[in-house]
Amino acid sequence: MKFNWGTGVIIGFGSFMTFILFFVFLVQSNSKYDNELVADDYYKQESKVQGDIESQTLSNALKTKLKIEKTAEGLQIVFPADIDYKKITGIISLYRPSNQKLDFETKISLSNPIMLIPNHKLVSGLWEISINWKVDEVTYLNKETVYF
């Protein structure tokens, strides 16, 4: 067999394709590189977008805004002082974009206008926080990204 530039090009392309396919197989078979959606019910959540926009608009129109603060004890959520905290109900959802296994939700239960999510529930890193709360049949939504 004669080795010329055409044979070299074919061997080069073949080697490159083998190299790429090896890494594709390596990433797909290794559980360390988990390829998952951020949420299991992604399409269901997508259908509620207009309601979320209206809830966020109502939340932004409040005189006193909801605040999310990092403290030594954990993540502190301060609800508006001009709203009776006893009437507040809802859910706080914490999403970890890098690892779905760390996502969790907690119900809002208040004995004062401040709710604390303790440090032991949070791993350091980027968190997307969604607070869906209701007062007297009016729904509010606050979304924020926090690096904890």
HEC readout, the chain: CCCCHHHHHHHHHHHHHHHHHHHHHHHHHCCCCCCCCCCCCHHHHHCCHHHHHHHHHHHHCCCCCCEEEECCCEEEEECCCCCCHHHCEEEEEEECCCCHHHCEEEECCCCCCEEEEEHHHCCCCEEEEEEEEEECCEEEEEEEEEEC
pLDDT tens-digit series, residues 22-75: 999 988 887 776 666 566 677 777 778 888 899 999 999 999 999 999 998 999
pLDDT tens-digit series, residues 106-134: 999 888 999 999 988 988 889 999 999 99
pLDDT tens-digit series, residues 65-100: 999 999 989 999 999 988 999 999 999 999 988 888
